[in-house]
Structure 1
Amino acid sequence: MDIQTNEEHELMANWGNRRDPLLSIVCLTYNHADFIRETLEGFLRQKTDFPFEVIVHDDASTDNTAAIIREYAARYPSVIKPIYQRENQYRLGVPFSTRLFAQASGRYIAYCEGDDYWTDPRKLQLQVDFLEKHRDYVMTYHDAFMFNSLGVVRTPHLTGKYRKDATALQLQKARPVSTLTVCFRNLLKELPAELHGVEVLDICWWSLLGAHGKGKFIEEIKPAAYRVHEGGIFSMRSSKQRIQMTTHAYYNLARYYQRIGNQSLYEYFMVQVFAHVLASISPVSKIQALGQVFQNISINLLRRLTPGV
């Protein structure tokens, strides 16, 4: 049995006699030695009246990330539960983030990668309190600000119509949500086969969760910090690459909804695929593509109107 440290005792002071986690924080990290301390401190500053655990997955980092995680795991042995990979799972195409959800003990999951961090110590308490009282909601989220190594800040992360609650259908349509801010019910134990190999998994999570309820935007939680840096898997990709990654996710969501017989969502995501493909090609190619589509539609319409011809 782990011996409780003074730091851990202070963290657990408001948990009473309960030790089974009500919430699991899932953190994926890779070569985040310059950032992971700030991430873990953001977790450990959380003031809650319920127990939580921190599952930190190090994907075979080649820097000092694993050593820093070991340091924190020694200080908080009952709370921080590290997983160290010997071979990089991302390069193998393993969707390890979703697999971690299945290993999480909590009724709820909060997600934050090892290069981002939370700023509000009330975050988890406010989100769990809401979900405990509102069974028709499957997830909560709040705002974040973006910043880079030069200290340049762009805020807020969510603007306009996205700074609001989301209906279940909007979630199913993969409505944008600031991923490092989410807290959701632990319902995603595995991915449908169609989504294996998808890189932009978070929009797939929201779509799958939408089958179980609505999303709540909690404005009073202070914005979390989304770091843009050279090692970022998504943020530092070119605009064209990001469009391609998102298009791939939409196409596979379309395949999933086609298989389960949801024609409306299948058609919605196929339209998104078409729109993203158009956005990623040159203006001349775009005109040619639209012309070809119009020609195909005209031919099919003519065949319907002139049977036997």
Structure 2
Amino acid sequence: MDTQSKTEQDVMAAWGDQRSPLLSIICLTYNHAAFIKETLEGFIRQETDFPFEVIVHDDASTDSTTAIICEYAARYPNLIKPIYQRENQYSLGVPFSTRLFAQASGRYIAYCEGDDYWTDPRKLQIQVAFLEKHRDYVMTYHDAFMFNSEGVVRTPHLTGKYRKDASALQLKQARPISTLTVCFRNLVHELPPELHGVEVLDICWWSLLGAHGKGKFIEEIKPAAYRVHEGGIFSMRSSKQRIQMTTHAYYNLARYYQRIGDPSLYEYFMIQVFAQVLASISPLSKLQALGQVFQNISINLLRRLTPGV
């Protein structure tokens, strides 16, 4: 069926008398006029035997994104639930995505921002069916490919050890996962105070979700499309900026786990902070820093060996 002609009745045909959403799709968008139609069509194309809702949060776009969302909300009034901001919340440092989880009606959350899109119409059905049957898993995810205006940048997005299931501990340790592919239990309704102001929130979600179960990699779902473009909040940052953002997230996760009394995770994230800091400095600076550390250790060792000096 042509997705452009698919009506709301077509989407809801397999739901029977069910109307309360089992799953909520969360979509954050800002100035995505060139992309948002493809994103919304990816949602509408989903074939499920359960109801779902689409919460689209427009963060005060200055292009025609808002008008496009209005058009879709009018065509799918029982499916698409828009939120229009008058002032850009991202610039104010408001972690609105997590707040939307608390507002969502669904038992499950699927996340996709307004410049990415899904390619598999059975995606949600497969993910929810798995989570319904496996209570020891808190989330599912699959692969994605990166692309820009010239075509594919890299495929697949997940490689090697990341194309596997994640243990609860690995989730707690903020294992990399393609955010636009996830479907997870709606259990994170607010952030600990330590995580307020963190920009790379998705790895914080995985860490918090790890307290509730494992993660399942589902290879059979077709890869989702992760768009790299000039307006991308994370993808188009410089390597140094991305490292700084990730380091900040790791440091604040360390503070959180220190507060709740988990020394092993506190130490793990502090080690990650150290590794990120090393990655952000030049080779010469690394040698100078390591030399200074070695010198300090040598001086302290010498003082211990010669206490009378």
Cα distance, 1:24 vs structure 2: 0.2
Q: Structure 1 residues 278, 176: closer, same or farther in 2, change over 3 A?
A: same
Counterpart check, 1:157 vs 2:160: no
SS at match of 1:180: helix
User: How far apart are 1:301 and its partner, in Å?
Assistant: 5.4
1:8 is displaced (CA, Å) by 1.2
Could you tell me which amino acid in structure 1 is paired with residue 98 of structure 2? Answer: T
**2: CA distance, partners of 1:183 / 1:308:** 64
Residue 102 in 1 paired to residue 108 in 2?
no
Deviation at 1:23, TM superposition (A): 0.2
- The one-letter code sitting in structure 2 at the alignment partner of 1:212 is H
User: How many Å separate the matches in 2 of 1:168 and 1:307?
Assistant: 48
Shift of 1:303: 6.3
After TM superposition, give the deviation of residue 182 of structure 1 in Å.
Answer: 0.1
Residue in 2 aligned with 1:216? 216
What is the CA deviation profile of residues 208-263 of structure 1, one whole-angstrom value per residue up to 9, with x for unaligned ones? 11111000000000000000000000000111111111111001101111111100
Is this contact kept in 1: 2:145–2:152, CA < 8 A?
no
User: TM-score scaled to structure 1, two decimals?
Assistant: 0.95
Report the CA distance between 1:298 and its aligned residue.
4.4
How far apart, CA to CA, are the structure 1 residues paired with 2:304 and 2:20? 64
Q: Which residue of 1 aligns with 2:198?
A: 198
Aligned counterpart, 1:241 = 241
Q: Quick check: 1:12 aligned with 2:12?
A: yes
Q: Indicate the residue corresponding to 1:147 in structure 2.
A: 147
Look up the match of 2:3: none
Q: Matches of 1:235 and 1:261 in 2, distance apart? A: 34
**In 2: Cα distance, 1:214 partner to 1:307 partner:** 52
Instruction: Give the equivalent residue in structure 1 for 2:229.
Output: 229
Structure 2: gaps spanning 5 or more residues: 1-5
Task: Give per-residue Cα distances to partners, 1:23-46, cap 9 Å, x unaligned.
Answer: 000000000000000000000000
Q: Secondary structure at the match of 1:118?
A: coil
8 Å Cα contact 2:145/2:155 also seen in 1: yes
Q: Aligned in 2, Cα 1:166/1:304: closer, same or farther, shift over 3 Å? A: farther
Contact map agreement 2:258 2:266 (CA 8 A) in 1: yes
Structure 1 residues 294 and 149 mapped into 2: Cα distance closer, same or farther (>3 Å)?
A: same
- Give the 3 Å change call, closer, same or farther, for CA 292–104 of structure 1 in structure 2: same
Whether 2:267 is the aligned partner of 1:255: answer no
Q: Residue 25 of structure 1 aligns with which residue?
A: 25
Please tell me whether the aligned partners of residues 140 and 217 of structure 2 are also in contact (alpha carbons under 8 angstroms).
yes
Whole-angstrom distance in 1 between the partners of 2:117 and 2:307:
64
Q: Displacement of 1:151 after TM fit?
A: 1.8
**In the aligned structure 2, how far is the partner of 1:264 from the partner of 1:296?**
26
Distance 1:216 1:307, change over 3 A: farther
**Percent of aligned pairs with the same residue?**
88
Q: Which secondary structure does the structure 2 equivalent of 1:216 belong to?
A: strand
In 2, Cα distance between the equivalents of 1:36 and 1:154? 22
1:304 CA displacement: 6.5
> What is the alpha-carbon distance in structure 2 between the residues aligned to residue 203 and residue 305 of structure 1?
45
| 1:47–1:150 CA distance, 2 compared to 1 (3 A) | same
C-alpha offsets along residues 127-150 of structure 1, whole Å, 9 cap, x if unaligned?
000000000000000000110011
Structure 2 length normalisation: TM-score? 0.95
- Other-structure match for 1:52: 52
Secondary structure of the structure 1 residue equivalent to 2:10: helix
How far is 1:297 from its partner? Answer: 4.0
Q: Secondary structure at the match of 2:32?
A: coil
Structure 1: how far apart are the matches of 2:161 and 2:302?
A: 41
User: In structure 1, what residue type is equivalent to 2:260?
Assistant: I
How many Å separate the matches in 1 of 2:67 and 2:308?
A: 74
Matches within 5 A, 1:123-202: 123-202=123-202
In 2, the alpha carbon distance for the partners of 1:266 and 1:196 equals: 18
Take 1:125 and 1:297, find their aligned partners in 2: how far apart are those partners? 57
Greater shift in the superposed pair: 185-194 or 151-160: 151-160
**What is the one-letter code of the residue matched to 2:292?**
Q
Q: Structure 2: which amino acid aligns with 1:163?
A: R
What is the CA distance between 1:306 and its match in structure 2? Answer: 7.2
2:287 paired residue number: 287
Q: 2:305 and 2:173 mapped to 1: Cα distance?
A: 35
Q: Which residue of 2 aligns with 1:3?
A: none
1:136 partner letter: D
SS in 2 for 1:14: helix
Secondary structure, in 3 states, of the residue corresponding to 1:212?
coil
2:96 partner letter: F
Deviations 1:103-142 (A, max 9, x none): 0100000000000000000000000000000000000000
